[in-house]
Amino acid sequence: MHNIAGMKTEVWSVADYRKFIVKGLKKGKLPKKPASMRGQEHLSRIGMALKDSGYTVVFEHIFHPTRKWRFDLALPILKIAVEYEGISSSKSRHTTIKGYTGDTEKYNEAALMGWIVIRKTVLNLSGVHQDILKAIKARESETHKSHKSHG
How much is the pTM? Answer: 0.69
> Looking at residue 75, which CATH number applies to its domain?
3.40.960.10
Across 98-123, average pLDDT: 92
> Which one has a higher pLDDT value, 97 or 139?
139
Residues 86, 92: contact at Cβ < 8 Å? yes
Please give the span between the terminal C-alpha atoms of the chain, in angstroms, as a whole number: 58
* Residue 46 shares a structural domain with residue 19: no
Strand 7-9 and strand 58-62: the pairing is unpaired
Across 47-57, average pLDDT: 94
Whole-number Å distance between alpha carbons of 105 and 119: 14
pLDDT tens per residue, range 68-94: 899 999 999 999 999 988 765 556 665
* Residue 81 shares a structural domain with residue 45: yes
Across 20-27, average pLDDT: 61
pLDDT at 134: 96
pLDDT at 10: 59
Report the chain's mean pLDDT, rounded to a whole number: 80
Q: DSSP 3-state assignment of 62?
A: strand
Taking every pair of Cα atoms in the chain, the longest distance, rounded to a whole number of angstroms, is 69
* Residue 18 shares a structural domain with residue 65: no
Backbone φ, ψ for residue 85 (5° rounding): -70, -25
**pLDDT range class, residue 40, cuts 50, 70, 90:** confident
DSSP states of 79-130: TEEEEE----SS--GGGSHHHHHHHHHHHHHHHHTT-EEEEE-TTTGGGHHH
* Residue 40 shares a structural domain with residue 17: no
| Residue 138, domain extent | 33-150
Across 121-131, average pLDDT: 89
Number of CB atoms found within 10 A of residue 102's CB:
14
**pLDDT range class, residue 32, cuts 50, 70, 90:** low
* Residue 7 shares a structural domain with residue 68: no
pLDDT at 2: 44
> Which one has a higher pLDDT value, 148 or 133?
133
pLDDT at 136: 96
